[in-house]
Amino acid sequence: MSFTLMDSSSENFEFQANVWHWKTALEIIKSFDILSEGKIKQMSYNATGVKLEKDEAHIIGEKIRDEILPKLAPNKRIFADLSITDAPDDGTLYRDGDEQWKNYSASYEWLKELSEFCLKSKGFQVF
């Protein structure tokens, strides 16, 4: 499953996210406590077209840039439970229920790209 974030001002400006990264991004965004629970839930399903306003997108971009990226440095990644590791993602698919959380993480580089997209956007929709 994948998600496409489409800028409200231009159909050509978009950001792609796979479910493994997006689930982590949503947990990070949820931790900022700026969006309603309902909007976060809608964002967890692809193709809903849920819309974020420009100010919401910019706040998310700023908070990722200012609060999350400094904790990661370029060689770390963050899991959906917001724990941080320096172990690289080796592509293992964890099927055991107790380890499935290890499937969802985002790297410094990916979050930096997401932050830049949010900051440049005029708001966006999630598809």
C-alpha–C-alpha distance, residues 125 and 108, integer Å? 23
Residue at 59 is within a domain: yes
| Domain coverage including residue 95 | 17-37+49-122
Residue at 87 is within a domain: yes
C-alpha–C-alpha distance, residues 105 and 21, integer Å? 6
What is the per-residue pLDDT across 9-22, written as a single tens digit (0 to 9) for each? Answer: 976 899 999 999 99
Residue at 107 is within a domain: yes
Query: What is the pTM assigned to this prediction?
Result: 0.93
Residue at 9 is within a domain: no
Write down how long the chain is.
127
> Using 50, 70 and 90 to split pLDDT, how confident is the model at 59?
very high
Residue at 8 is within a domain: no
What is the per-residue pLDDT across 69-83, written as a single tens digit (0 to 9) for each? Answer: 999 988 899 999 999
Count of domains in the chain? 1
